[in-house]
C-alpha cells in the first residue's frame, strides 16, 4: 500500500529534504552533474564562523578517507564522497534503513572572502572538518536581504 | 567484522543527467498517490506484497518502481490493474513498526515505462525503461513557462498556510519539466489528473496541461477566499460588539458604579440570607444564583432566572401578622361596616373566639353564598381588619386551567406562579386572609381540574407543603385563612363543598336596604362624588322608592348605583353653577334624577284568570317569583311545554299533569275528556332558561286552576317538589324564596312540610308580613289555594285536613 498520508514526519522530512536538495541543486556549478540514484544521501553538516575561519563540519563516519573529495568553486564548497555499504554479512531481512550509503554530496554557500588555497581538512572520529581561513581582516558580515 | 576488508571500488558518478537505473526492479503499487521525479515522498506500506517488494529492493539497489493503481480500492493489483507509466524511486529511509507496517521515504529519480510484469509473487517485479522528457524550445514553450510560473505564484498567494520555501523553490527551478512536476506535486489535483501530468513526456504539452489545472485551482481558491472573508466579516461584527460592551463595563467600573449584574446578584444574595427562606428554598435559590453569576446578562435565560429569584425572595417566608382575637373588637368592626346579617356576624365571632382559645385548631373554611351585591367581599375585608390580617382576594370565576392555581413551570415562556402564591405575595404576610371569589364558577377542561388543585390548597393536612409549579419549592399555606364565596351551591364540586361551612346571605328586605343605604351607601357615594354631607339628603321614602321602583335585586349593588346617579347629577349642578345648595331628594323629585319608574311590582301583573299560579325560584341572583301559565284547547291530548324549561322541570310538569289525570274523579274533573284536549304550559320569561323540580306544586296548582276554571288566590306563592303519589318533597333556598315573596308583595307562602326546620333560619324581619303554610300533599296545597270548601263541593269524598298547619 502506498498512500500519501498527512503525517508530520513524512511531510516535514519530505518537503524539507526536497527543498534542501533543490536549493543545493541551484547552487551546483554548471558542468557538475548530480549523482544518482536519487542524488545519493546528504550527511549532516554544520557551518559556523570563528574569528579567523569559516568552519564546515560534516558527519561521515564510515567513509574512507580516500573516498572523500572536497572542492571550492566560485564561492561554494562542494564535498562529495562515497560510503561503502559493507556487505560483510548476509542480510536476510531489513527492519530499518536510515543510514545513507553510496554517493553523497553537499554544497555549502560561502560568500566570504577566504583563501581557498590554504584550507585545512581534518577527518577524525567520523567528522570531516574543513577550515577556510579569512583572507584579510575578520569575517564579513553577511547581509540578509 | 571480517578480517579482510574487501575494498569495493567507488563508482564514478555518471556524466549524463539521469544515470542508470536497473532494468528490472520490484514494484510498489500506489493506491492513489503519484510520485514525480525529484520529489521526496513519504509512504506507508501496509500490504504484504508491497512490504516484501520494499524488503527486496533494500537488499538490492534500493530502487523501486512506484506505479499508481488504476483504481484505489484494488487490494491485490494484477498487472492489468496498474498504469503504464510510473516513477523509479530510490528508498532513502525505511522504518518497520511492530505490526509489520512499514514507512519509507523515497525520492523519485526518473519517469519509467512499465514494459512487462515478470513476477507477481511474492511481490511484483517489472521490466522497466527510463523515459526522458522531450523538450522543444519554441516561443509557445517560453510563454507557457512564464505563464505557468506566474499562475503558480498567483495561486500560492491565494492559498493560506503555504510555506515560503515552496514559493522560493518554484521561482528558482530552472528546468521547465522539473517545474511542471514540482507544481503538479504541490497543487490539489486528483489522481487521474496527476497521472496525466506524469504520463505527458513532452514538456510543452505538460505545461499546457498544468496551466489548465492551475487556472481551475485559482478559481476555487478565490471562491474559497470570498466565502472566508464573508464569514470573517460576520465574526468580526460580533467581536466588535463584545469589545464595546467590555469597554462599557470598564467605564462603569471607573465611574464607581459596579456593573449592573453584580449589583443585582449581591442584592439577591443578601435577600436570600435575610428573608428566612426554608431550607429547601434556600438551596434552590443559591443554586440558581450561582448559575446567574456565570451567565451573561444578555442571555435570555438571565431574566428568567432573575424574575424567578425575585419571586422566591419576595415571598413572605417569615412575615406574619399577629391575630387580634378580641371578640368585642371583631363584633365592633363588623357592625361598623355592615348592617344586619346578625346570624352571620355571630358565626364569625364564634370562629374568632374558638381560634383564640385553641390557636392550632384548623378551623373550617367559611363559604359565603349569596346573590351579587350582598356584601360577601366586604365582609371578608371587615373580618380581615378586625383580626388584624392582611387581605388578598382572587377570583376563581372562569378559571379552567389548573396552572392558574398551581402556576406554570419556569421553563414555559412567560411563566408565572399560580394565583395563590401571587395573592400571598401581594398580601405580604404568610397568614393573610385570602378570599376565593366565585368558587361556583370554577371550570374544568382538558387543561386540568383546578378544583382538585384547590382541594390541596384548602386541605389543612396537606397545605403546609404546597408546591407551586413555578417556585418548585414548598410553601407553607397552613397559616392562611381562606374564605370562599359563591352565588350558588350546585356547581361547587362535592369534594370541595364538603370542606366548606356554608353561610347563606340571602339578600335584604326593603327595610334592610333602606338602612344600609342610610348608613353606608349614601355616605359612600357622596364622598366618592366629592360632595359634602349637607349638599345632598335623601328621605327614607325616597330610598324606599329607589329600592322598589328602580331596582329589582336581592343585593344592594344597583341601589348604590342609582344613588350614585343622583349624586352625579348634583355634582354636575354644583360644578356648573359654582354654588352649593342643599338638595333634598324626595319621592316626588326622584323622577327628575332617575327618570321614570323602571320596575313595576309583579303582583300587579297577575290576572284573575284561571290557569295561573305563582311559584318561587332560587337563582344565582337570589330568590325570585315566577308565574306558571296553563291553557287548554281542543286537541288530541298533547301536553306542550314552553319557556325554556329544562328536563327536570319538564318532567315535573308531566308529573303534575299525570297526577291530575289519575285523580280526576277525586278532583271533580271526571267529566273532562283529556284525550280530546291539548294543554299548553308556559313559564315566562321566554328567554330565561329555567330548570329544577321545586315548581312542582305551582304547576299542579296552575293546572288544577285551569281545569276547575277557578283562578288561584293571587296573593299566594308556593314551592315544593311533587311525586306521582301527590306527596310534596322538600326544596332548597327557603330563605331566599321567602324574601323574594316578600319583595314581590306576596302575603302567603306555601312550603313543603319537610322544610319546616329551614324556616327557623329565616330571620323574623324577613318573615314579617308573610304567612307561611306547610303542605304535606298536593291536596293540602289545593286546600290553601282554592279553599277547602271549593274542592269539597266538587267531590263526593271529603279529605280531612289533618296535616294542615298554619304558622304565622
Spell out the residues 6+ positions from residue B76 whose beta carbon is closer than 8 angstroms to its own. Answer: B47, B49
Inter-chain Cβ pairs, chain A and chain B, closer than 8 A: 140
- pLDDT value for B570: 86
* Mean of all residue pLDDT scores within chain B: 84
Residue A14 pLDDT class (50, 70, 90 cuts): low
Domain-located, residue B4: no
Pairing of strands B748-752, B805-807: unpaired
| Residue B66 in this model has a pLDDT that exceeds 90 | yes
Name residues whose C-beta falls within 8 Å of residue A93's C-beta, 6 or more positions apart in sequence. Answer: B55
- Confidence tier at A38 by pLDDT (50, 70, 90): very low
User: Does A7 reach chain B within 8 Å, measured CB to CB?
Assistant: yes
Lowest mean pLDDT among A32-46, B269-283, B440-454: A32-46
What contacts 24+ positions apart, CB below 8 Å, involve A7-13? A7/B42, A9/B42, A9/B103, A10/B41, A10/B42, A10/B43, A10/B103, A10/B105, A11/B42, A13/B40, A13/B42, A13/B93, A13/B105
Residue of B nearest to A96 (CA): B95
Residue B9, domain member (yes or no):
no
Give the strand pairing for B85-96 and B677-682. unpaired
Q: In the numeric block, which cell numbers belong to residue B64? A: 523501486
> Has residue A2 been placed in a domain?
no
Question: Domain containing A18 — which CATH number?
Answer: 2.60.40.790
Is B613 among the catalytic positions?
Answer: no
Structure confidence at residue B789 (pLDDT): 57
Mutation target to probe the A interface, by most A beta carbons within 10 A, among B10, B27, B44, B189 is B10
Cβ separation of A14 and B40 shorter than 8 Å? Answer: yes
Query: B472 CA to chain A: closest CA distance, Å?
Result: 55
Is the separation of the CB atoms in B736 and B623 below 8 Å? yes
pLDDT for B4 beyond 60: no
pLDDT above 90 (res B65): yes
For residues B40 and B143, the answer to whether their CB atoms sit within 8 Å is no
Q: What is the mean pLDDT of residues B60-76?
A: 90
In whole angstroms, how large is the CA radius of gyration of chain B? 53
pLDDT one-digit tens code per residue, B180-218: 898 898 888 888 999 999 999 999 999 999 999 999 888
Q: Which of A4, A26, A95 sits opposite B43 (nearest CB)?
A: A4
Which of B4, B32, B107 to mutate to probe the A interface, most A CBs <10 Å?
A: B107
* Residue B114 reports pLDDT greater than 90: yes
Here the cell at position B548 is: 322598589
The whole-angstrom distance between B31's CA and the closest CA on chain A is 6
Say if residue B515 is in the same domain as residue B475.
Answer: no
Cα B277 to Cα B285, B408, B624, B686, distances in angstroms: 9, 21, 52, 59
User: Of B241, B257, B273, which residue sits at a domain end?
Assistant: B257
C-alpha span between B101 and B89 (Å, rounded): 20
At B402 the three-state DSSP class reads helix
Question: Residue A145 falls within a domain, yes or no?
Answer: no
pLDDT at residue B5 greater than cutoff 50: no
> Cα separation of B753 and B774, whole Å?
5
pLDDT band at A138 (very low <50, low <70, confident <90, very high): low
State the helix-helix crossing angle for B203-254 and B191-199, rounded to 10 degrees: 140
Nearest to B623 by CA among B525, B795, B504: B504
* Count: domains in chain B: 6
- For residues B588 and B722, membership in a common domain is answered with no
- What is the span of the domain harbouring residue A119? 8-133
The answer to whether the Cβ–Cβ distance between A10 and B30 falls below 8 Å is no
* A144 within some domain: no
Tell if the CB–CB gap between A17 and B13 is shorter than 8 Å. Answer: no
B239 and B271 belong to one structural domain: no
Nearest Cβ partner for B96 among A4, A84, A95? A95
User: What is the Cα–Cα distance from A71 to A27, expressed in whole angstroms?
Assistant: 14
Of B18, B40, B88, the CB nearest to A18: B40
Q: Residues near B200 by Cβ (< 8 Å), separated by ≥ 6?
A: B206, B209
Average pLDDT over residues B275-279: 86
- Is pLDDT larger for residue A45 or for residue A95? A45
pLDDT at A103: 83
ipTM, 2 dp: 0.72
CB contact (8 A) between residue B42 and residue A7: yes
> Residue holding cell 276547575?
B708
Tell whether B590 and B612 lie within a shared domain: no
Decide if pLDDT at B795 tops 60.
Answer: no
Residue A139 belongs to some domain of the structure: no
Among residues B257, B273, B299, the one where a domain terminates is: B257
Distance of CA B346 to the CA centre of its chain: 43
pLDDT of residue B12: 59
Is the confidence at residue A55, as pLDDT, over 80?
Answer: yes
> Residue B352 and residue B388: Cα distance in Å, rounded?
12
The verdict on A26 touching B (C-beta cutoff 8 Å) is: yes
Judged by CB atoms closer than 8 Å, whether chains meet at B45 and A1 is answered as yes
Residue pair A39/B107 in contact by the 8 Å Cβ criterion: yes
Confidence of residue A91 (pLDDT cuts 50, 70, 90): confident
Q: Which of A32-46, B278-292, B360-374, B481-495 has the lowest mean pLDDT?
A: A32-46
Residue A3 maps to a domain: no
- The grid coordinates listed for B93 are 529511509
Residue B381, pLDDT above cutoff 50: yes
**Number of domains chain A is built from:** 1
Q: Is residue A126 part of a domain?
A: yes
Q: Write down the pLDDT at residue B24.
A: 92
* Closest alpha carbon within chain B to A97: B94
Which residues does chain B have within 8 Å of residue A13's beta carbon, measured at their own beta carbons?
A: 40, 42, 93, 105
**Cell numbers standing for residue B469:** 409549579
pLDDT value of residue A23: 63
Nearest-CA residue of chain B relative to A105?
A: B13
pLDDT at B260: 66
Report the residue from B1, B20, B66 with minimal CB separation from A88.
Answer: B1
- Half-sphere exposure of residue B79: CA atoms within 13 angstroms, side-chain side: 12
User: Cα(B343)–Cα(B364) distance, rounded to whole angstroms?
Assistant: 17
Among chain A residues, the shortest Cα distance to B95 is held by: A96
Averaged pLDDT for residues B27-48: 89
Judgement on whether residues B496 and B625 belong to the same structural domain of the protein: no
> Are B681 and B795 in a shared domain?
yes
- Residues on chain B touching A94 (C-beta within 8 angstroms): 55, 58-59, 94, 96
Give the three-state DSSP class for A46: strand
Are B232 and B376 in the same domain? no
H runs (alpha helix) in B188-341? 191-199, 203-254, 260-274, 279-294, 300-314, 327-337
CA separation, residue B724 to residues A81, B606, B778 (Å): 136, 29, 10
What pLDDT does residue A2 have? 39
Count of positions (residues) in chain A: 145
Q: Note the pLDDT of residue B450.
A: 84
For residues B706 and B708, what is the distance between their CA atoms, to the nearest angstrom? Answer: 6
Q: Report, as an integer, the average pLDDT of B720-726.
A: 90
B169 min Cα distance to partner chain A (Å): 7
Q: Which CATH number goes with the domain that contains B452?
A: 3.40.50.300
- Per-residue pLDDT at A37: 39
pLDDT (mean) for B629-642: 90
Q: For every residue of B415-439, which 3-state class applies, written as one string?
A: CCCCHHHHHHHHHCCCCCEEEEECH
Instruction: Read off the C-alpha cell for B22.
Output: 536497473
* Least confident interval from A25-39, B11-25, B172-186: A25-39
A37 upstream amide cis, omega within 30 of 0: yes
Task: Tell me the CATH number at B46.
Answer: 2.30.130.40
* B737 assigned to active site: yes
Whether A33 sits inside 8 A of B92 (CB atoms) is: no
* Among chain B residues, CA nearest to A9: B42
Q: Confidence class of residue B237 from pLDDT cuts 50, 70 and 90?
A: confident
Residue B45: closest C-alpha in chain A: A1
Contacts of B163 in chain A (CB under 8 A): 15
Q: What is the pLDDT of residues B383-423, one digit of tens each?
A: 888 888 899 988 888 888 888 888 888 887 778 888 899 99
| pLDDT score recorded for residue B709 | 84
Please report the residues numbered 55 through 94 in chain A whose beta carbons come closer than 8 angstroms to any beta carbon of chain B: 67, 80, 82, 84, 86, 88, 91, 93-94
Domain containing B296: what range? 260-314
* Residue B762 and residue B650 in one domain: yes
Cβ contact, residue pair B13, A35, below 8 Å: yes
Q: Which of A21, A96, A103 sits opposite B95 (nearest CB)?
A: A96
B contacts of A88 (beta carbons < 8 Å):
1-2
- Do B500 and B515 lie in one domain? The reply is no
Q: Which of A3, A19, A38 sits opposite B44 (nearest CB)?
A: A3
Q: Do A13 and B40 touch (CB under 8 A)?
A: yes
Average pLDDT over residues B631-659: 89
Q: How far is CA A54 from CA A14, A23, A73, A119, A136, in A?
A: 29, 21, 15, 10, 13
Distance spanning both ends of chain A, measured CA to CA: 45
Q: Which of B345, B513, B690, B737 is catalytic?
A: B737
Q: What integer pLDDT is reported at residue A32 of this predicted model?
A: 45
Whether the per-residue pLDDT at B379 is higher than 70: the answer is yes
Residue A143 domain-assigned (yes or no): no
Shared domain for B661 and B788, answered yes or no, is yes
Predicted pLDDT at B68: 94
Helix (H, G, I), strand (E, B) or coil at B204: helix
Residues in B touching A91 (Cβ below 8 Å) = 59
Looking at the fold, whether B515 and B500 belong to one and the same domain comes out as no
Q: Is the pLDDT of residue A59 over 90?
A: yes
Residue B422 inside a domain? The answer is yes
Pairing of strands B583-585, B536-538: parallel
Q: Which residues of A touch B95 (CB under 8 A)?
A: 96, 98
pLDDT class of B17 with cuts at 50, 70, 90:
very low
Assess if residue B319 is contained within a domain: no
Chain A residues within an 8 Å CB radius of B167: none
Report CB contact under 8 Å: A39, B107: yes
Residue that finishes a domain, picked among B559, B594, B629: B594
A145 to chain B, any CB pair closer than 8 A? The answer is: no
Same domain for B118 and B144: no
Which residues of chain A have a CB within 8 Å of the CB of B76? none
pLDDT, residue B257, reads 58
Quick one: pLDDT band at residue B645, thresholds 50, 70, 90?
confident
- CATH number reported for the structural domain that contains residue B549 in this entry: 1.10.8.60
Using CA coordinates, name the residue in chain A closest to B172. A26
**Tell me, what DSSP letter sits at residue B534?**
G
- B382, B386, B509, B694: which one is catalytic? B694
Distance of alpha carbon B591 from alpha carbon B581, whole angstroms: 19
Per residue in A16-25, pLDDT (tens digit) is 666 666 666 6
Answer whether B44 sits within 8 Å of A2, measured CB to CB: yes
At B793 the three-state DSSP class reads helix
> Which residue of chain B comes nearest to A90, CA vs CA?
B59
Look at B15 and A33 and tell me if their CB atoms are within 8 Å: yes
pLDDT for position B595: 85
Amino acid at each position: 500500500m502506498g498512500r500519501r498520508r498527512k503525517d508530520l514526519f513524512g511531510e516535514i522530512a519530505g518537503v524539507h529534504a526536497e527543498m534542501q536538495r533543490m536549493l543545493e541543486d541551484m547552487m551546483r556549478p554548471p558542468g557538475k552533474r548530480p549523482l544518482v540514484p536519487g542524488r545519493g544521501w546528504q550527511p549532516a553538516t554544520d557551518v559556523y564562523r570563528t574569528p579567523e575561519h569559516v568552519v564546515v563540519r560534516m558527519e561521515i563516519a564510515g567513509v574512507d578517507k580516500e573516498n572523500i573529495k572536497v572542492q571550492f568553486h566560485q564561492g561554494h564548497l562542494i564535498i562529495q564522497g562515497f560510503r561503502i555499504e559493507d556487505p560483510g554479512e548476509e542480510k536476510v531481512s531489513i527492519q530499518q534503513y536510515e543510514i545513507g550509503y553510496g554517493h553523497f554530496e553537499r554544497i555549502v554557500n560561502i560568500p566570504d572572502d577566504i583563501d581557498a588555497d590554504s584550507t585545512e581538512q581534518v577527518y577524525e572520529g567520523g567528522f570531516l572538518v574543513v577550515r577556510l581561513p579569512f583572507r584579510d581582516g575578520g569575517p564579513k558580515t553577511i547581509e540578509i536581504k | 567484522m571480517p578480517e579482510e576488508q574487501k575494498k569495493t571500488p567507488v563508482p564514478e558518478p555518471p556524466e549524463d543527467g539521469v544515470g542508470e537505473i536497473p532494468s528490472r526492479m520490484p514494484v510498489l503499487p500506489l493506491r492513489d498517490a503519484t510520485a514525480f521525479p525529484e520529489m521526496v515522498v513519504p509512504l506507508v506500506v501496509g500490504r504484504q506484497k508491497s512490504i516484501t517488494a520494499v524488503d527486496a529492493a533494500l537488499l538490492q539497489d534500493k530502487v523501486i518502481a512506484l506505479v499508481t493503481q488504476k483504481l484505489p480500492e484494488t487490494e491485490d493489483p494484477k498487472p492489468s490493474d496498474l498504469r503504464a507509466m510510473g516513477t523509479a524511486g530510490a528508498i532513502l529511509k525505511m522504518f518497520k513498526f511492530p505490526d509489520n507496517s512499514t514507512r519509507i521515504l523515497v525520492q523519485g529519480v526518473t519517469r519509467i515505462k512499465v514494459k512487462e510484469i515478470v513476477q507477481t509473487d511474492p511481490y511484483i517485479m517489472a521490466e522497466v525503461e527510463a523515459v526522458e522528457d522531450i523538450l522543444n524550445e519554441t516561443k509557445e514553450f517560453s510563454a507557457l513557462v512564464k505563464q505557468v510560473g506566474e499562475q503558480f505564484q498567483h495561486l500560492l498567494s491565494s492559498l493560506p498556510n503555504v510555506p515560503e520555501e515552496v514559493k522560493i523553490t518554484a521561482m528558482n527551478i530552472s528546468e521547465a519539466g522539473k517545474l511542471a512536476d514540482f507544481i503538479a506535486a504541490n497543487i490539489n489535483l486528483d489522481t487521474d489528473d496527476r497521472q496525466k501530468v506524469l504520463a505527458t513526456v513532452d514538456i510543452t504539452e505538460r505545461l499546457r496541461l498544468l496551466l489548465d489545472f492551475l487556472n481551475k485551482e485559482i478559481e476555487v481558491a478565490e471562491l474559497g477566499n470570498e466565502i472566508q472573508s464573508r464569514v470573517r466579516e460576520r465574526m468580526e461584527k460580533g467581536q466588535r460588539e463584545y469589545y464595546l460592551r467590555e469597554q462599557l463595563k470598564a467605564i462603569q467600573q471607573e465611574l464607581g458604579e459596579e456593573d449592573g449584574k453584580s449589583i443585582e446578584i449581591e442584592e439577591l444574595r443578601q435577600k436570600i440570607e435575610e428573608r428566612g427562606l426554608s431550607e429547601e428554598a434556600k438551596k434552590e435559590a443559591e443554586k440558581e444564583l450561582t448559575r446567574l453569576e456565570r451567565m451573561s446578562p444578555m442571555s435570555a435565560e438571565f431574566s428568567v432566572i432573575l424574575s424567578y429569584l425575585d419571586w422566591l425572595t419576595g415571598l413572605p417566608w417569615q412575615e406574619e401578622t399577629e391575630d387580634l382575637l378580641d371578640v368585642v373588637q371583631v363584633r365592633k368592626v363588623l357592625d361598623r361596616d355592615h348592617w344586619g346579617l346578625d346570624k352571620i356576624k355571630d358565626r364569625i365571632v364564634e370562629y374568632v373566639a374558638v381560634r383564640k382559645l385553641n390557636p392550632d385548631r384548623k378551623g373550617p373554611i367559611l363559604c359565603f353564598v349569596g346573590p351579587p351585591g350582598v356584601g360577601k367581599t366586604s365582609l371578608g375585608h371587615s373580618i380581615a381588619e378586625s383580626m388584624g390580617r392582611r387581605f388578598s382576594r382572587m377570583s376563581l370565576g372562569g378559571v379552567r386551567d389548573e396552572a392558574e392555581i398551581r402556576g406554570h413551570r419556569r421553563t414555559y415562556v412567560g411563566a408565572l406562579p399560580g394565583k395563590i402564591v401571587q395573592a400571598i405575595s401581594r398580601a405580604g404576610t404568610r397568614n393573610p386572609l385570602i378570599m376565593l371569589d366565585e368558587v361556583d364558577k370554577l371550570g374544568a377542561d382538558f387543561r386540568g381540574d383546578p378544583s382538585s388543585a384547590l382541594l390541596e390548597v384548602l386541605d389543612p393536612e396537606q397545605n403546609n407543603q404546597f408546591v407551586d409549579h413555578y417556585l418548585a419549592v414548598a410553601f407553607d399555606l397552613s397559616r392562611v385563612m381562606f374564605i370562599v364565596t359563591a352565588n350558588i351551591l350546585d356547581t361547587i364540586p362535592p369534594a370541595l363543598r364538603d370542606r366548606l361551612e356554608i353561610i347563606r346571605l340571602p339578600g335584604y328586605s326593603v327595610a334592610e336596604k333602606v338602612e344600609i343605604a342610610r348608613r353606608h351607601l349614601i355616605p359612600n357615594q357622596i364622598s366618592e362624588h366629592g360632595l359634602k354631607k349637607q349638599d345632598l339628603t335623601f328621605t327614607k321614602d325616597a330610598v324606599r322608592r329607589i329600592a322598589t321602583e328602580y331596582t329589582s335585586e336581592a343585593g344592594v349593588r344597583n341601589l348604590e348605583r342609582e344613588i350614585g346617579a343622583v349624586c352625579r347629577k348634583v355634582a354636575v349642578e354644583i360644578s356648573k353653577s359654582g354654588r352649593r345648595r342643599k338638595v333634598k331628594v324626595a319621592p316626588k323629585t326622584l323622577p327628575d334624577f332617575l327618570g321614570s319608574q323602571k320596575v313595576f311590582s309583579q303582583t300587579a301583573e297577575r290576572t284573575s284568570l284561571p290557569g295561573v299560579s305563582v311559584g318561587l325560584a332560587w337563582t344565582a341572583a337570589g330568590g325570585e317569583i315566577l308565574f306558571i301559565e296553563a291553557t287548554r284547547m281542543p286537541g288530541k291530548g298533547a301536553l306542550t311545554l314552553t319557556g325554556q324549561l329544562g328536563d327536570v322541570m319538564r318532567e315535573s310538569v308531566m308529573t303534575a299533569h299525570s297526577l291530575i289525570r289519575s285523580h280526576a274523579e277525586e278532583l271533580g274533573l271526571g267529566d273532562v275528556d283529556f284525550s280530546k284536549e291539548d294543554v299548553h304550559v308556559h313559564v315566562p320569561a321566554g328567554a330565561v332558561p329555567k330548570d329544577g323540580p321545586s315548581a312542582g306544586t305551582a304547576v299542579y296548582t296552575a293546572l288544577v286552576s285551569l281545569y276547575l276554571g277557578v283562578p288561584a288566590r293571587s296573593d299566594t306563592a308556593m314551592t315544593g317538589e311533587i311525586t306521582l303519589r301527590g306527596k310534596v318533597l322538600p326544596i332548597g333556598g327557603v330563605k331566599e324564596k321567602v324574601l323574594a315573596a316578600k319583595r314581590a308583595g306576596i302575603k302567603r307562602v306555601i312550603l313543603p312540610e319537610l322544610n319546616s326546620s329551614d324556616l327557623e333560619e329565616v330571620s323574623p324581619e324577613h318573615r314579617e308580613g308573610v304567612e307561611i303554610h306547610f303542605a304535606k300533599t298536593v291536596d293540602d296545597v289545593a286546600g290553601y289555594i282554592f279553599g277547602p270548601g271549593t274542592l269539597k263541593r266538587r267531590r263526593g269524598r271529603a279529605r280531612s285536613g289533618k296535616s294542615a298547619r298554619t304558622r304565622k
